Amino acid sequence: MRVSTRTRYGTRLMFQLALDYGKGFSLLNDIAKRENLSGKYLSLIVIPLKAQGLIVSARGAKGGYILSRHPSQISMREIVEALDGEIAASECLRDSKSCNRFSSCVTREVWKLLDDKIAETLASVKLQDLIEIHNKRKNPANNYEI
């Protein structure tokens, strides 16, 4: 199972918006430069994020993008599902008609368990957590223990 490029870039975009939270709107080109990403590609990624109500846009000289809620209120699960749809390790979990063994398949239970754990983990991680990790890496505490 792999995380798509769209989701990886989208989480980087959302992280940058989280860092800018409370400072006004951010331009995609500025975020693209900071993250070394294509601005054109980011302009496609913002569409589903906006549609899911995770970000807000404004036009004009002071326009750009901003998170719709505080970073502590936006989970990684919301971002992943906005960009890639419902989490499912196997197609049979999304669509029962995709497999003729749907009702008798034992391995389906394993894929369901995996999906549940992934969803639980992603739901538990908020954008605020990423900011805290970033800040710890940027300003590690001095350790003078001997």
Complete domains list, the chain, with CATH: 5-138 (1.10.10.10)
Q: What average pLDDT does range 85-90 have in this prediction?
A: 78
Query: pLDDT at residue 143 above 60?
Result: no
Strands in 41-84 per DSSP E: 55-58, 64-67
Q: What is the pLDDT of residue 107?
A: 81
Contacts of 104 (CB under 8 A, 6+ apart): none
Burial of 129 (0-12, 13-18, 19+ CB in 10 A): middle
The dihedrals phi and psi of 104, each to the nearest 5 degrees, come to -115, -5
14 or 145, greater pLDDT: 14
User: How does pLDDT run across 39-69, given as a tens digit for each residue?
Assistant: 999 999 999 999 999 999 999 888 899 999 9
Mean pLDDT in residue range 11-35: 95
Q: CA-based Rg of the chain, rounded to a whole angstrom?
A: 18
